[in-house]
Amino acid sequence: MMYPYQINTIEQYYQDYKHSIEEPELFWANIANHFLWHKKWDEVLEWNFTEPRVEWFKGARLNITENCIDRHLDSIGNQPAIIWEPNDPQDSSRIITYNQLYNQVCRVSQVLTNLGVKKGDRVCIYMGMVPELAFAVLACARIGAIHSVIFGGFSAQSIADRLADAQAEFIITCDGAYRGAKDIPLKSVIDDALTGNTTVKKVLVYTRTRIPVSMINGRDVWWEDEMEHAELNNAVHFQATSMDAEDPLFILYTSGSTGKPKGVVHTQAGYMLWANYTFINVFQYKPGQIHFCTADIGWITGHSYVLYGPLSAGATTVMFEGVPTWPDAGRFWDIVDKYNVNILYTAPTAIRSLMGFGLAPLQGKDLSSLNVLGSVGEPINIEAWQWFNKNIGKGNCPIVDTWWQTETGGIMISNLAGVTPHKPAYATLPLPGVLPVLVDEQGKELQGNSVNGNLCIKQSWPATIRTTYRDHERCRTNYFAAYPNKYFTGDGAMRDELGNYRITGRVDDVLNVSGHRIGTAEVENAINMHSGVVESAVVGYPHDIKGQGIYAYVILEDKGHEAELMRQNIIQTVVRIIGPIAKPDKIQFVSGLPKTRSGKIMRRILRKIAEGETSNLGDTTTLLDPGVVDEIKDGAKLV
């Protein structure tokens, strides 16, 4: 498969960019013509960012899995679609060709149909990184069911909230998952999440770790049994459901600055085009290359760049079950060496943690197959960029620093590998179709270059967030209300003299811990669930490996408790309510929080103290009790 819309020169980038902004309908129709449709569109694009209402390829009908699988079978049916590397390097890897992927996805589609899954039903998927996870996701898409994948690091309570919000009727899970030295009892977590649930009818369980599980009669069924019983029409085919371009494809929950996570909704055609177009252009993928994105499919990066982007391009995608540091810190490099990986796409936090092991884990690893490196999830610091460039890319591989979000579906601002220039710590230039602007606090657009502001997007791109599930108003207020007619990203950015963007981080109360988005309000809510806690305030602070760490200021009901024990109890509570990913790194017990007379917590001061700043705390005269600041400053030294 060749890609007629792959940008090969910088001149072409500028030309395509201009075309995409001036005539988006023509630009995207030309690209869409290269996909498989049951019926073409009546209109390419209708949008307004006030309601917001966004519709791409209105009237068109398609199935994304035919674009990711069926259309490749004649030409590359015997080529690997997925290379799966197990957690334990001693175990066998699995290579799944496009033909085999087709058979598996058809069979799982039949299994789901037999269980009663229909178009539009919500299927929650809580599995480890096994190929069956990919089959499950694609089978949902083939039937037209809406998948909602939940990362294995979320607790039963978090899952329960998501199941209720999505009104999910089906769950696909595993008995357990291997992650490094740990065995995670996924099914048992699901059982806890289902206490009191009234919407879930069936739980399909794939066997991975053989940890004992309890199977509830009538509700829980084994994947292996169902697969055996799935009689396919014509032996292996399962007719893909014809979907409207704007039918939902998936829900993915993500944290915001307030309350509970939001169910970000992406739809069929626009998301497909965007995942495909960005994959082909940013990584400059060439047919036959091996692409390794290290993200878990529980996050948007895994959706777009382990699955939909690469598969829609007929690429070979590596899926890794384990973690970069087990059994040793050479694991990524072993995988690159073993499969001759050409493109390695990972997160700054992984790079920083591997840097900490020095160069020994690189010894004897042949990394010469690498052509392109990528970074995602948070700003990459110069030191990590240089280490990656020198030791992994050997100075020969362009590094793409890709800025985007769950809500944007795919990469928005990034250099194109080897085509447009890179600049360390800069995501650089917008992709065709993306019109970024910087605004000041009043919403005034900042013109010209060398400016700093809040990053917004002014025009709809194909994978614009369509809604937040069952709560469109929340989508509007969160993203489209702050600045009229603009999508607000929640990030701050600067634009240099050449128009390159550098993302400076979130400007709202959202933390980015190891590339995972966590709302401070969510962590506070979890801490406050502990019976001994009166109140808490959570802020981020710079952390060498995680990028940001979680710092919690906590007021206890009874100060007489043993501090260390309370600290452990509070951490346990957060793990129970959200999951291990939201564990506070530091907890400081305080007798009061700095509040204004109207009762608002002055987070600015708490952030500074958490960062180790003791002078220059700014104006504290508006505080109800300025004395509390000194006490907190003194206490911080002991944390």
- Could you say whether residue 267 binds ligand PRX (CB under 6 A)? no
How far, in Å, CA of 616 to CA of 593, rounded? 18
- Could you say whether residue 300 binds ligand PRX (CB under 6 A)? yes
- Could you say whether residue 511 binds ligand PRX (CB under 6 A)? no
* Token pair listed for 483: 């600045």
- Could you say whether residue 490 binds ligand PRX (CB under 6 A)? yes
How far, in Å, CA of 437 to CA of 448, rounded? 10
Smallest gap from Cβ 21 to ligand PRX, in A, equals 22
How far, in Å, CA of 233 to CA of 240, rounded? 12
How far, in Å, CA of 260 to CA of 477, rounded? 15
Site string for ligand PRX, 412-431 (x = CB under 6 A): ---------------x----
CA 122 to chain centre: 19
Q: Print burial letters for 315-348: b (CB count within 10 Å at least 16), e (below 16).
A: bbbbbbbbbbbbeebbbbbbbbbebebbbbbbbb
**CA nearest neighbour of 402 among 469, 347, 445, 328:** 347
- Could you say whether residue 298 binds ligand PRX (CB under 6 A)? no
CB nearer to ligand PRX: pick between 63 and 405:
405
- Could you say whether residue 478 binds ligand PRX (CB under 6 A)? no
Q: CB of 490 within 8 A of CB of 508?
A: yes
Task: Kindly give the interhelix angle for 24-32 and 10-22, rounded to the nearest 10 degrees.
Answer: 110
Number of residues this chain uses to bind ligand PRX (CB under 6 A): 21
CB nearer to ligand PRX: pick between 342 and 402:
402
- Could you say whether residue 260 binds ligand PRX (CB under 6 A)? no
- Could you say whether residue 266 binds ligand PRX (CB under 6 A)? no
- Could you say whether residue 468 binds ligand PRX (CB under 6 A)? no
If you search the block for the tokens 């100060």, which residue do you land on? Answer: 559
CB nearer to ligand PRX: pick between 63 and 415:
415
The single residue among 87, 406, 464, 536 that binds ligand PRX, judged by CB under 6 A, is: 406
- Could you say whether residue 166 binds ligand PRX (CB under 6 A)? no
Find the binding residues for ligand PRX in span 336-395 (CB under 6 A).
Answer: 376-379
- Could you say whether residue 404 binds ligand PRX (CB under 6 A)? yes
CB nearer to ligand PRX: pick between 405 and 536:
405
Smallest gap from Cβ 232 to ligand PRX, in A, equals 36
Smallest gap from Cβ 586 to ligand PRX, in A, equals 22
Find the binding residues for ligand PRX in span 18-57 (CB under 6 A).
Answer: none
Smallest gap from Cβ 228 to ligand PRX, in A, equals 38
Alpha helices by DSSP H, listed for 172-244, are 186-193, 223-229
- Could you say whether residue 254 binds ligand PRX (CB under 6 A)? yes
Smallest gap from Cβ 405 to ligand PRX, in A, equals 4
How far, in Å, CA of 561 to CA of 201, rounded? 44
CB nearer to ligand PRX: pick between 194 and 427:
427
**CA nearest neighbour of 214 among 200, 198, 203:** 203
| 126 bridge partner residues | 173
Say which residues have a Cβ less than 8 Å from residue 448's Cβ, sequence separation at least 6: none
Amino acid at 261: P
3-state secondary structure of 284: coil
- Chain residues binding ligand PRX by CB under 6 A are 254, 300-301, 376-379, 401-406, 427, 489-491, 503, 506, 512, 517
